[in-house]
């Protein structure tokens, strides 16, 4: 074999190896396609905390309290409206922030995801900007995560079908924000506090963002409320009688 042919063969083999490595990376290091929940949740960031150009903007009717049956509007948006930062693939989910043996509860789910089924995401077009819901917890009756894997799918198709121009010409949807409604479950009302975790891909880099903690509101027990009210009434009555005795004593002294 001539040196030229040998060089061509070596180059071809190197290209094939690089292509396989690229596919392996997109597949999550496995021979078969890793499920989207695991892939998105395990994306790591080379940037430190507070380095993301995006943040969580979360609003609710009761401020930073989580109340049963009342949704929160969870939005990922840019820090500044004048910056050109946009993102393609992304992922968000809710997790407990104050572990008190919570993670030890039985349940099977995605590694790194909370085993508690804390809430349901409800998509509201067009505010979800092409994002889709994910059922990562097998026990979930709705979407317990929200995100997009469109760019990943396009990159896999380009690597597996390099001769098809369709995938090379196709571009993933680029968004500057995304918004979704989140409804808490009964499990969410039994944890000390809840935080939202997000993964955002912008310009080929992954960023991790976190929200502030939200405290579930537990209404007081009716019996304890009644006892507290009776105690206050009794205390007021005792104070009134004491004032009357003091007034009578002052009158007698005159």
Backbone angles phi and psi of 167, in degrees to 5: -75, -30
The two tokens of residue 102 are 């919570």
Among 206, 214, 212, 199, smallest CA distance to 92 is for 199
* pLDDT tens-place string over residues 91-108: 999 999 865 444 434 344
Residue 15 within a domain: no
Q: What is the pLDDT of residue 166?
A: 93
- The answer as to whether 2 is a domain residue is no
pLDDT score recorded for residue 237: 75
- Whether 227 maps to a domain, the answer reads no
pTM score of the predicted model: 0.71
Question: What's the pLDDT score for residue 49?
Answer: 75
- The answer as to whether 187 is a domain residue is yes
Considering Cα of 127, then 131, then 137, then 138, what sign does the dihedral take?
Answer: positive
Give the pLDDT score at 187.
Answer: 87
Contact 43, 153 (CB under 8 A): no
Q: What is the pLDDT of residues 152-171, one digit of tens each?
A: 999 999 988 889 999 989 99
Higher pLDDT, 64 or 223: 64
The range of the structural domain enclosing residue 200 comes to: 35-216
pLDDT at 196 over 90: yes
Query: Is position 238 within any domain?
Result: no
- What's the pLDDT band for 143 if we cut at 50, 70, 90? very high
Q: Which of 192, 145, 184 is nearest to 62 (CA)?
A: 184
**What CATH number is attached to the domain comprising 110?**
2.60.40.4060
Higher pLDDT, 27 or 192: 192
Q: What CA dihedral angle connects 149, 197, 92 and 68, to 10 degrees?
A: 170
Q: 233: which residues sit within 8 A by CB, 6+ positions away? A: none
Q: Flag whether 242 is in a domain.
A: no
**77-136 pLDDT tens trace:** 999 888 889 999 999 999 998 654 444 343 444 555 555 689 999 999 999 999 999 998
**How far apart are alpha carbons 180 and 189 in whole angstroms?**
20
What separation in angstroms does the CA of 180 have from each of 79, 92, 96, 107, 121?
18, 10, 19, 26, 7
Neighbours of 88 (CB within 10 A): 21
pLDDT of the residue at 182: 96
14 versus 36: the higher-pLDDT residue is 36
| Count of domains for the chain | 1
Strands (E), 14-123: 54-60, 65-66, 72-78, 90-96, 119-122
249 belongs to a structural domain: no
Residue 188 to residue 172: CA distance in whole angstroms? 34
How far CA 181 is from CA of 60, 73, 74, in Å, comes to 10, 5, 6
pLDDT tens figures, 11-34: 545 555 565 555 555 555 555 567
Residue 229 in domain: no
């Amino acid at each position: 074999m001539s040196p030229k042919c040998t060089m061509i063969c070596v180059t071809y083999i190197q290209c094939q190896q690089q292509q396989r490595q690229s596919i392996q990376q997109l597949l999550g290091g496995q021979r078969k396609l890793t499920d989207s929940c695991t892939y998105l949740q395990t994306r790591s960031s080379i940037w430190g905390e507070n380095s993301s150009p995006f943040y969580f903007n979360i609003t609710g009717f009761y401020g930073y309290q989580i109340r049963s049956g009342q949704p929160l509007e969870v939005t990922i948006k840019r820090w500044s409206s004048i910056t050109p930062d946009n993102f393609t693939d992304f992922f968000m989910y809710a997790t407990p922030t104050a572990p008190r043996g919570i993670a030890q509860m039985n349940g099977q789910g995605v590694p790194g995801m909370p085993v508690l089924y804390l809430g349901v995401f409800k998509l509201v077009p067009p505010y979800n900007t092409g994002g889709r819901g994910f059922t990562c917890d097998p026990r979930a009756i709705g979407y317990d995560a929200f995100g997009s894997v469109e760019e990943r799918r396009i990159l896999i198709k380009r690597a597996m079908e390099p001769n098809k121009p369709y995938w090379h010409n196709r571009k993933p949807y680029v968004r500057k924000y995304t918004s979704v409604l989140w409804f808490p479950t009964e499990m969410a009302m039994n944890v000390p506090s809840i935080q939202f975790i997000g993964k955002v891909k912008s310009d080929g880099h992954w960023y991790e963002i976190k929200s502030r903690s939200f405290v579930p509101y537990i209404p007081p027990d009716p019996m304890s409320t009644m006892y507290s009210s009776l105690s206050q009434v009794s205390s007021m009555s005792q104070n009134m009688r004491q004032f009357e005795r003091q007034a009578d004593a002052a009158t007698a002294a005159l």
